[in-house]
């Protein structure tokens, strides 16, 4: 057994990122400025998007995206219960109603057939979540949106750099929101990016900084003007140059980061496929997953313990793990407001009870990977029926 605890998902920060941050601190410009602008341009080019807006979090990317699309009171937005709460919070915060639909049993992504059934005259948008980094079935969702005149705002918090049928996530729907939280494939500590057409991104930019016609860099540099107008009741969501400094260097490293993730995933899948007590994650032939997470599902009928005990047993062997996610419809606020029952979305709920995310991060050595596999094998051997 390991002598030290293997953390689930720490970030990997190198000297390049540190030096870029130091240069930013010495530049005299810390908030949104030249580095944030450069990060937006570099990111849009990397993804192949028309334009990008750097914001303070992936949550803010979704919030200003929906606001720029005009989503508000009386509108409905279809999304999935199998996601982090921020996906649904932003719909609520704008006064719209989140409409949850169940998920596919294979990928655990939103089920397009359920999306189609949920469309009504109040529906304005669909928010698919590319869970764990595996792209949703976007052709079907795009077809539904086209037939009903709906917007698509993709939650791609897990999906950088994923591809769907050769196209990068971030170029498929109306808008796409990315997260650069500390655990993500690319991190700025906190941070996010919204991609889409130049016209919608500029509208979102206004929403992202108090609804002002000019930001601080446009007002307070030699080329700027002090005058501004407040044209919208906007939010405070802008990314600082300190955050962007990290992002500029992380983006350069992203291809090699992903190569390492894929190596870990290959080793996991090769070793874990033999166990009847587990169901390993899939990667459909038409996609390239970003492999943000490696979630296994326990076949509980073949074990004498439940998921909570399985996680405890891993921790006792110094292996960190987690669960992604506790479905939205069993969370107290949404359960009570909308009267949800656990089995209202049976695929989401039943799979939630079996899910365990194993460590998958860039600081893991080959030895760390083998320690995880050894611990899993040991727990299964001790508690199989």
Confidence grade of residue 126 (pLDDT, cut at 50, 70, 90): very high
The pLDDT score that the predictor gives to residue 226 is 75
Same domain? 293 vs 167: no
The answer to whether residues 246 and 16 touch, using CB atoms and an 8 Å cutoff, is no
Return the pLDDT at 1: 87
37 is catalytic: no
The residue assigned the tokens 């479905």 is: 327
Torsion sign over Cα 272, 273, 279, 283? positive
pLDDT tier at 223 (50, 70, 90 boundaries)? Answer: low
Does one domain contain both 191 and 267? no
Element (H, E) at 66: helix 58-68
Q: How many domains, the chain?
A: 2
The residue written with tokens 């057939």 in the block is 113
3 is a domain residue: no
Cα radius of gyration (the chain): 21
Residues 67-76 have pLDDT tens digits of 999 999 999 9
The answer on 277 and 242 residing in a single domain is no
Give me the percent of the chain exceeding a pLDDT of 90: 96
Interval 256-301: pLDDT, tens: 999 999 999 999 999 999 999 999 999 999 999 999 999 999 999 9
Q: What CATH code is carried by the domain that includes residue 40?
A: 3.40.640.10
Do 189 and 312 have their domain in common?
no
pLDDT score of 383: 98
Give the C-alpha separation, 164 to 304, whole Å.
Answer: 39
Catalytic member of 37, 165, 184, 341: 184
pLDDT surpasses 90 at 221: no
Tell me the C-alpha distance between 185 and 12, whole Å: 9
**How long, in residues, is the chain?**
385
Give burial (CB, 10 Å; 0-12/13-18/19+) of 374: middle
Mean pLDDT for all residues in the chain: 97
Determine contact, residues 162/156, Cβ cutoff 8 Å. Answer: yes
List the domain range (segments joined by +) for residue 362.
255-383
Compute the distance between CA of residue 384 and CA of residue 373 in angstroms, rounded to an integer.
16
Say yes or no to pLDDT of 379 above 70. Answer: yes
């Amino acid at each position: 057994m390991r002598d030290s605890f293997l953390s689930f998902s720490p970030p990997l920060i190198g000297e390049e990122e540190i030096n870029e941050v130091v240069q930013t601190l010495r530049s005299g410009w810390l908030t949104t400025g030249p580095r944030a602008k450069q990060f937006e341009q570099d990111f849009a080019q990397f993804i192949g998007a028309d334009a990008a807006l750097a914001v303070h979090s992936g949550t803010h990317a979704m919030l200003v995206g929906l606001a720029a699309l005009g989503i508000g009171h009386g509108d409905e937005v279809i999304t999935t219960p199998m996601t982090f709460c921020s996906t649904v919070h932003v719909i609520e915060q704008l006064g719209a109603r989140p409409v949850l639909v169940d998920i596919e049993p294979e990928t655990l992504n939103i089920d397009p057939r359920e999306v189609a059934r949920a469309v009504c005259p109040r529906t304005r948008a669909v928010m698919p979540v590319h869970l764990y980094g595996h792209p949703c079935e976007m052709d079907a969702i795009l077809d539904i949106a086209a037939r009903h005149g709906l917007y698509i705002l993709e939650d791609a918090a897990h999906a950088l750099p994923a591809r769907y049928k050769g196209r990068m996530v971030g170029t498929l729907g109306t808008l796409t929101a990315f997260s650069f939280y500390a655990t993500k494939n690319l991190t700025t500590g906190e941070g996010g990016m919204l991609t889409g057409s130049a016209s919608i991104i500029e509208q979102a930019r206004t929403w992202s900084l108090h609804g002002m016609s000019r930001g601080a860099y446009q007002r307070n540099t030699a080329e700027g003007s002090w005058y501004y107008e407040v044209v919208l009741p906007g939010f405070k969501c802008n990314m600082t140059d300190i955050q962007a400094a990290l992002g500029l260097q992380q983006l350069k490293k992203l291809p090699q980061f992903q190569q390492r993730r894929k190596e870990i995933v290959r080793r996991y899948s090769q070793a874990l496929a033999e166990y009847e007590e587990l169901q390993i994650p899939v990667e459909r032939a038409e996609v390239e997953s970003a492999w943000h997470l490696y979630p296994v599902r326990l076949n509980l009928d073949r074990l004498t313990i439940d998921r909570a005990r399985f996680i405890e047993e891993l921790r006792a062997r110094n292996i960190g793990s987690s669960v992604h996610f506790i479905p939205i419809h069993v969370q107290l606020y949404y359960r009570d407001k909308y009267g949800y029952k656990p089995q209202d979305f049976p695929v989401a709920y039943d799979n939630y009870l079996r899910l365990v995310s194993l460590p998958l991060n860039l600081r893991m050595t080959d030895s760390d990977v083998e320690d995880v596999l050894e611990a899993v094998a040991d727990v299964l051997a001790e508690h199989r029926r």
